[in-house]
Chains A and B, each alone.
Chain A
């Protein structure tokens, strides 16, 4: 008996490339959203530039990391919206497209479309900080790690919502609080010492702590660096594994 697209079935991440391009096409029509995706970062950068221009490099690095973190918010909004409003999950997942390909394809599509402004900010950071190759690679690695944690959190949270109006309020609150309050746009040295272990375990502030240490904007003890690096790496693996597990589980109304 013929199947309809059996080639994509049962392989982990089967159908990923096709759904990725679908999402790119869907997202690429949102020019206004792309243009305004840097609003929070832009405002904070202006504040820093006015209040303490010496911290502009730190803030620009933070803006790159924060931008990758907010990709999770975009994934949360998109996944919940197309599920609640369009029933896209039912159309796509009652077929050979695997749930993990649906999740990752959507996240990667969002990333590609919203990446250009992030690259511009990264370019500005380079102009101010003058990264070494090692620092530049660390920036890319940390940005990627934060992206993976953020899209994983975003996708898992998206499955909890039944009403689009609730999504906008909660997703904005979550991603702004965890992306702005911790030392992402300012040096970790300004953050109260006893609470530092907590922010070193949060993906965006862990990433910026490592970057601030690398560019000389912070001087962290080895234990703190290990906590940030180890925590971030562990979160990447655990959150992504859980998100793919959750994507599979929630296909069936869990």
Chain B
């Protein structure tokens, strides 16, 4: 059996609608996820993330290219692939007239788990998601975040070898998100592979071993969060108050971005002292902080848009 949990080669998908021009959602995606890895798939709205997840999870056929799950052709052998996967769909909801306990338990049973095992895993998943208190209330009475936690509990309870999570923590409060992260890490520790999409870049950084950025149906970045941050020209961000008018002075230090009167520069740590000296000599005040993944993402995707 393949060492890769997921592999796509030149994966393409074009949506053809009646009376509408064809839309190329994926334009040749090459992607690999090793067993046990946690990988984030990032991109703007409409970049192709959900289309990729739907193809990989056997819910959509590609137009061309190869998609393999544990070495099995997911396009030709979807029935053989499905026992190995579980999916948190984007904007999915539990059945409103089931309680979280019923939702998780009946889902596990429908996947073929025995009663005892399904009960035990249900209790464990509900506890992990902080849902024990609400476990016997109908989902229709729960908040949006609690419903989303029910969806995540339903899927993590499967302990499937490969989990596809499409914006799994959307609508959750910061505490709930951290419970979800802990659960994903625990599952990963048990050997499950996780591919998630998210618009929360802190989540991607906290959870993923590696990330892919997709833009207009193509992978434009494949690496770790750290590598991505370095790729934008440094790991430190210096904000210079009222520096926008003197941007020319600082251009040699790195990419500069003016935001109102403030000038922001991404620099390598070794050039920080030199930059600070220049700012002090110019009578300008500076604030220094690390480059966040969100900033790196904005710059990388922004560059790609500019190039196009």
* Chain A contacts to B: CB under 8 angstroms: 1-10, 14-15, 18-19, 21-22, 25-30, 82, 85-88, 90-98, 101, 105, 251-254
Contact = CB atoms under 8 A, between A and B. Distances in A.
Nearest to B91: A87
Nearest to B95: A26
Given A18-B106, A90-B92, A251 B111 contact: no
Of all A-B residue pairs in the complex, the 10 with the closest CB atoms, nearest first, are A5-B111, A8-B112, A5-B112, A29-B97, A18-B109, A90-B89, A7-B112, A87-B92, A87-B89, A3-B83
Given A2-B161, A90-B87, A252 B111 contact: no
B84 A3 contact: yes
B107 A92 contact: yes
The secondary structure that dominates the A interface is loop
A14 B79 CA distance: 11
B58 A252 contact: yes
B227 interface: no
10 contacts: A15-B112, A21-B106, A25-B97, A26-B98, A88-B95, A94-B59, A95-B158, A96-B82, A251-B78, A252-B58
A9 B84 CA distance: 10
B113 interface: yes
B67 to A, nearest CB: 12
B208 interface: no
A9 B59 contact: no
A32 B61 CA distance: 40
B93 A94 contact: no
A41 B92 CA distance: 36
A185 to B, nearest CB: 32
Contacts of A252: 58-61, 78
A252 B108 CA distance: 22
A91 B154 contact: yes
Interface in B92-146: 92-98, 102, 106-113, 138
Contacts of B304: none
Nearest to A253: B60
Contacts of B102: 25
Contact of A4 (B57, B95, B161, B164): B161
Interface residues of B, number: 46
B219 interface: no
B86 interface: yes
A91 B89 contact: yes
Contact of A82 (B1, B58, B88, B95): B95
A19 B111 CA distance: 9
Contact of B90 (A2, A87, A251, A253): A87
B70 A95 contact: no
B90 to A, nearest CB: 7
Given A4-B158, A87-B93, A91-B154, A22 B83 contact: no
A95 B83 contact: yes
Contacts of A2: 159, 161
Nearest to B159: A4
Interface-centre pick from B1, B106, B158 (highest chain A CB count, 10 A)? B106
Contacts of B97: 25-30
A154 B155 CA distance: 29
Given A1-B161, A86-B92, 5 more contacts: A25-B97, A27-B97, A94-B164, A95-B82, A251-B58
Given A3-B83, A18-B109, A91 B58 contact: no
A8 B110 CA distance: 8
Contacts of A92: 107, 110
Contacts of B95: 22, 26, 82, 86, 88
B111 A93 contact: no
A215 to B, nearest CB: 39
Contacts of B111: 4-5, 8, 15, 18, 95-97
B98 A22 contact: yes
Interface centre among B54, B60, B83 (most CB of A within 10 A): B83
